[in-house]
A and B are shown apart, each in its own frame.
Chain A
Amino acid sequence: MRGVRGFFARLAGLFGRTRQERDMSEELESHIQMHVDDAVRGGMTPEQARREAVRKLGGLDVTKEAVRDRRRLPFFERAWQDLRFAARSLGKNPGFTAVTIATLALGIGANTAIFTVVHAVLIERLPFHEPSRLVAVWEENAQRPGRKNVVAPFNYRRWQERETPFASMAGFYDSRVNLTGDGRPEQLVAQFVMPSFFSTLGTAPMLGRAFAADEGPDGNDQVVILSHGLWQRRFGGDPAVVGRTIQVDRRPVTIVGVMPPRFGLFLKTGTLAGKPADLWEPMVFTEKGAQKSGRYASAIARLKPGETPASAQTKMAAIASALAIQFPERDAGWGIQVVPLHAEIAGEMRSTLLILFGAVGFVLLIACANVAGLLLARGTARVREMAIRTALGAGRGRILSQLLTENLLLALVGGAVGLLLARWGVALLVALSPADLTGLSLLRLSPQVLAFTFLVSVLTAGLCGLAPALAGSRPDVQDSLKDGARSGGASVRTRILRKAFVVSEVALAVVLLVGAGLMLKSLAALGRVHPGFEPEGLLTARVTLSGEQYKEDPPTLRFFAEAVDRAAKIPGVREAGVVSFLPFTGLAAATGFTIVGRPVPPPGEELSTEVRVCDDGYLRAMRIPLLRGRVFTDREMREKTDVVLVSEGFAKQFFPGQDPIGHKLVIDMMEEPPATEIVGVVGDVKHAGLAAEARPMVYWPHPVLVYGGMTLVVRTGSDPAAAAPMLERAIQAIDKDQPLSDVRTMEQWIGASLARERFASMLLLLFAALALTLAAIGIYGVMSYVVGQRTTEMGIRAALGATAPDLRRLILRDGARLLLVGLAIGLPLALAGSRALRSLLYETPAADPATFAVVLGVLAAAALFASWLPARRAARVAPAEALRQS
């Protein structure tokens, strides 16, 4: 405690120095006077007495210094002194300071920006209670191991009956709904959740209440909970909204609660709506409903205390095996996957982000090497200054602390500027980022991010400053102060260090360039993939019908038939059609089927296919080619018939070497499914993305299975986006209460599906460009330095008859050597690093020779150009001038 008091007294001692000094001087003076008085009384002369008194004191100045040290905090004082000196000294050299700070700011800023995303996606806890105990529960088909499958309500109910490792569980699914009533009709995403949903996540509504345990069964489900966003946007944040009745899908429901901001659970696997929820409605899986065989739900659960995701996986797998035996016709070949919720949400962004984080770390290392090189050069220029300070009595520690303070100041200012850059960087990242990241609109510079930036800045100061500071604080005083000493003696060590920095920059740049090259090549390969239709000129829009009048099939069919008719009449539109699920939207439907006349496969080995419902206009508008047979007839477009089209892949997989036309399929998509006859074969469509395989697909004419939600597809001659307002008017003319949603061109959909790849490649390209620039600057710097050092030598060589090209070659050879050593280290690193990229690459081997060759070419060009400028200067050296200098 006394120590603390002492510390504060000393801290206070930093102020009011004049008074302290006077006080101390007077006290010591009075001490000496008293001593002198005594000594004079003892018989000495006053002069003798005074000398004796000062001697006995141990020297006046030494004593004063000791008192000062004790009175104040010498460490802080020295640090403050160092800091002010550093600021002055850096201010005197604005060019150096600006370049260094800019380099560091770029490196630190890029790191901060990426870290902000990494932190939000991978580190920050989910906004739920004890999020580490939350898991997502999926089914898994033995034929598609590793792939998460949505859950059958039937199985969900069976799990509930057993002893599970879960304290609570909640099933849910989402769907588009229409909000009508006051204002514009609007399509929203509703998550239909079991009442246990909110308690499982451990989040209570901000206003009102959660669903009661008995809410959910038909008739007792007229309640709704709003998301914070919808509440703000549509209801103006009115706290009195609880208790109000609104129209959702033309059904009156009462608002019972509003969730807090940030609350929401969007799982990419299993979503039918493809977007986060705007509101929640209650539901339960009834036994009657669960008897239907479909799998369509998602499930989350909270682990019991003591359970881990791994132990839960083991226990659920045991339950799945038991169910497979008990209900072979439903569950043979089906297992269960338990995924930590955090991993579920971070999903595939995880690997991308980690790669980017690694890459941006390399950029910072290169920036550090560059700054270290600059600091070394500055150190060389300051040898005299350091030597003078050493001669005046500054210890090595003192000089070292001075130099490190300078570096710290540079890094901290660089970090502060980097933070500004990071703010723009984050905005850029959000703009570039794929849809999975859009939930992160709350990306912000949190305290953790600020701490990260600070830490990185300090580390940077150490990393790039230590070696130069060590080298600079050890001047050879004698040599440096000798008259005529030019640029300092201890330069061999410095030169080796500088070259080492440049070599490491080149090596790191190779890694980044290779990474960026591979990503670009892969992106280009993806761009060349033909999706199976012609995306140019297509406009798409989703319509989900709601209301009593569309409960029956005929009005629904009539609505879409009229919509297609009216759309086709829009000026500039060539063809129009509708489909249940558009490619590249992430929405799909698949089911099992049997081929009439073939034995039924044993449970667990059923055949399965993707199923789409469409009209013939869809196939025409998309330009999906008919390969054999025929498309739908007009009658088949109006009436329920028993025909189906299959894709080429379907024909190849299930009818190898046969003509599938005329065969009949029983597709398990509705109750008592009819046998439908294959009348035609159409081209394959890449439905799930350009990189994905086209899966077997069947197309039913719309009347066979009437969906109330369909996507309109319109082929225009030129600019598809321009047709959007006319399309909206055409639909509203049929029924003004039916909103259009997801109005986008097909090319926008495809672009969005490549967002992750584009995101990664754009950033890697940016980082690689930074790396290349910095490495080139580094090479230029060290070669200029070498040329400066060898001016005399060049002069002698020129005097002895070396020509300008000879001299240039000499320097270029030096630069080339740096490049080669850098490449020798960088290439193995790049080979190892590109393996980490493999999961992101499409039809591009990680060790793609062409990419490596291009990278080598680019680097060599940059390196030679960077050495060329100093080499030219070397060749211009006038012999007389150079010799006179020495």
Chain B
Amino acid sequence: MAEKTPALRQDVWQGTLALMVLKTLESLGSLHGYGIARRIEQTSGDRLSVNYGTLYPALVKLEQEGYVASEWGVSENNRKAKFYRLTRAGRRQVELETREWERTTAILARFLAPSEGRA
């Protein structure tokens, strides 16, 4: 499984990870770190293999920036866990970043598409 994709470069990973977290929280509501990590892994079709640990600094950053809020709660398995949810600013940020990302990928796609634009 580790062979499927080369690990993403650290800076790219940190940037995209934030959006993945926000998007995950947007669709699933309140969720703990482990849940977010699993969800991202599943959504990517197990194509992303990164350490779960990298998620936590990203969560701290998002919380510091006011996009997510956290509180302690109880997990589905009755484990004490810290739950994260989107704030209002977080919701706006998801929209904003999604648009940004779509635009970026669209532009990049044109560059990367094999010579069809030139024909």
Contact = CB atoms under 8 A, between A and B. Distances in A.
Interface of A: 2-3, 5-6, 9-10, 23-24, 26-28, 30-31, 33-35, 37, 56-59, 62-63, 66-67, 69-71
Closest 8 CB pairs of A and B: A58-B51, A63-B53, A58-B53, A70-B57, A9-B64, A2-B65, A6-B64, A34-B34
B60 A31 contact: no
Which of A56, A62, A69 neighbours the largest number of chain B CB atoms within 10 Å of its CB? A56
A5 B79 contact: no
A59 B53 contact: yes
A27 B60 contact: no
Given A2-B66, A71-B60, A34 B32 contact: yes
Contact of A28 (B51, B56, B67, B75): B56
Contact of B51 (A2, A30, A37, A56): A56
A66 B56 contact: yes
Contacts of A5: 64-66
Contacts of A62: 53
21 contacts: A2-B65, A2-B67, A6-B61, A6-B64, A6-B65, A9-B63, A26-B80, A27-B82, A30-B75, A30-B80, A34-B32, A56-B52, A57-B51, A58-B54, A62-B53, A63-B51, A63-B53, A66-B56, A66-B57, A67-B56, A69-B57
- Judged by DSSP, the binding face of A is helix
Nearest to A70: B57
Interface string B73-108: 001010111100000000000000000000000000
Given A6-B65, A71-B60, A34 B53 contact: no
A69 B60 CA distance: 10
Contacts, number: 76
A2 B75 CA distance: 30
A611 B79 CA distance: 109
Given A31-B81, A34-B34, A58-B53, 15 more contacts: A5-B66, A23-B82, A27-B82, A28-B56, A30-B80, A35-B34, A37-B77, A37-B79, A57-B51, A59-B51, A62-B53, A63-B53, A66-B53, A66-B54, A67-B56
Contact of A58 (B52, B63, B65, B66): B52
Contacts of B64: 5-6, 9-10, 71
A35 B82 CA distance: 14
A30 B79 contact: yes
Given A67-B57, A67-B60, A69-B57, A30 B81 contact: yes
Nearest to A6: B64
A1 B53 CA distance: 27
Interface residues of B, number: 24
Nearest to A56: B52
Contacts of B56: 24, 27-28, 63, 66-67
B33 A27 contact: yes
A34 B82 CA distance: 12
A39 to B, nearest CB: 12
Interface string B29-55: 000111101000000000000011110
A77 to B, nearest CB: 15
A20 to B, nearest CB: 10
Given A2-B65, A9-B64, A10-B64, A34 B52 contact: no
Nearest to A27: B82
A70 to B, nearest CB: 4
A69 B80 CA distance: 25
Contact of A30 (B54, B65, B82): B82
A10 B61 CA distance: 9
B52 A57 contact: yes
B111 to A, nearest CB: 29
A30 B57 contact: no
Given A2-B65, A6-B64, A57-B52, A34 B79 contact: yes
Contacts of B77: 34, 37
Given A57-B52, A57-B53, A34 B65 contact: no
Nearest to B82: A27
Nearest to A69: B57
B82 A33 contact: no
A98 B58 CA distance: 47
B66 to A, nearest CB: 6
B60 A34 contact: no
A84 B33 CA distance: 36
